[in-house]
Amino acid sequence: MKYIGFLIAAVLSFIILPNSVVQADQESSARMALYKKTSALTDIPWEYIAAVDQYERQIHTNRKEGRVTAIEPDPMFWTGSAGEMPAAIFPEGWGADGNGDQKVQINNDEDVLWSMASYIKSFGTTPDDIKIALWNYYKRDLTVQTIVNTAEVFKKFQTVSLTKRDFPVPTQTNYSYKNTWGDARGFGGRRIHEGTDIFANYGVPVKSTTYGVIEMKGWNKFGGWRIGIRDIYNIYHYYAHLNGFKEGMKIGDVVQPGDVIGSVGASGYGPPGTSGKFPPHLHYGMYQDNGKNEWSFDPYPYLRKWERMAKN
């Protein structure tokens, strides 16, 4: 009888949940198991291994066949040229036999994770050691910052499955926005309008749309009081013209969707404190980093989607 109940539940969940949700869920538990195993073998906290993988997932969009992780190690870390060597001749490179099949394979999840973690471990296991290891590997500050931020988020929520999102202002308040990304703008020089303006009253709460870390907080003569949040998808979320910040909030804080970070205002276009040169609104921008460059993309379709999610 137990089996029949289980079978019915399994069939039901298969029918009710879209296939992609089931797959994403299975994949994140498979990933989590690999991170924890690698962590147990190397003493590198699992959230760092997960964060390196998460970073590379955004860089390499084509997943290698048969793999659930996305790290594509630099070939110089592997002995030999084919990326597949008997473990016995391993010592010249960093490639390590994580799954114990006596081979070190550049396309095996466990071998790759163990190799990466062993490389990091050669610098030590404290957060500072890990940061130095990451800098030596990637040689790029923004990459190291992104990975360290992501590790903080994973550590706080103890999962890599963080799919919740929120709309940046409460959907019960009066607000309006149009798709104006890419328009020429009246202020701020010749750059295009790199965001969506959400018009709302002074003091309406502004919320984080995503899981991430506060990376920037302060004044800029165009944007006024601004906040920047780096999320776990190598995306930077930019909130400008705020009236003020949430009390006590500081750079490095981990946030989740719905956390209030400040309030709507009309600050900007002058020295610190200048306000009221245009109607109050939240300027919301999104920037994608591909490991080499960071560029603005249109947040409007995402705002529409998050608005629908928030109203349900």
- In the complex, the residues that contact Zn ion under the rule CB under 5 A are 195, 197, 283
Q: For residues 133, 134, 138 and 142, what is the CA-based torsion angle, rounded to 10 degrees?
A: -140
Judged by beta carbon, residue 197 or residue 259, the one nearer Zn ion is 197
Q: Minimum Å distance from CB 197 to Zn ion?
A: 4
Please tell me the distance from the alpha carbon of residue 278 to that of residue 67, in angstroms, as a whole number. Answer: 51
Q: Minimum Å distance from CB 240 to Zn ion?
A: 7
Q: Minimum Å distance from CB 245 to Zn ion?
A: 19
Residue 76 DSSP code: G
Structure tokens at 126: 């404290």
CB-CB contact of 171 with 307 (8 Å)? yes
The identity of residue 41, as a single letter, is L
CB-CB contact of 299 with 198 (8 Å)? no
Judged by beta carbon, residue 117 or residue 229, the one nearer Zn ion is 229
Nearest residue to 303 (alpha-carbon basis) of 150, 153, 195, 183: 195
Q: Minimum Å distance from CB 179 to Zn ion?
A: 12
Judged by beta carbon, residue 91 or residue 186, the one nearer Zn ion is 186
Q: Minimum Å distance from CB 280 to Zn ion?
A: 12
Q: Minimum Å distance from CB 204 to Zn ion?
A: 16
Shortest-Cβ-distance residue relative to Zn ion: 283
Structure tokens at 263: 């309030």
With residues binned 3-state (H G I as helix, E B as strand, rest as coil), the percentages for the chain, rounded to 5, are 35, 20, 40
Judged by beta carbon, residue 197 or residue 253, the one nearer Zn ion is 197
Judged by beta carbon, residue 98 or residue 228, the one nearer Zn ion is 228
Tell me which H or E stretch contains 176. Answer: strand 175-177
Judged by beta carbon, residue 95 or residue 195, the one nearer Zn ion is 195
CB-CB contact of 219 with 226 (8 Å)? yes
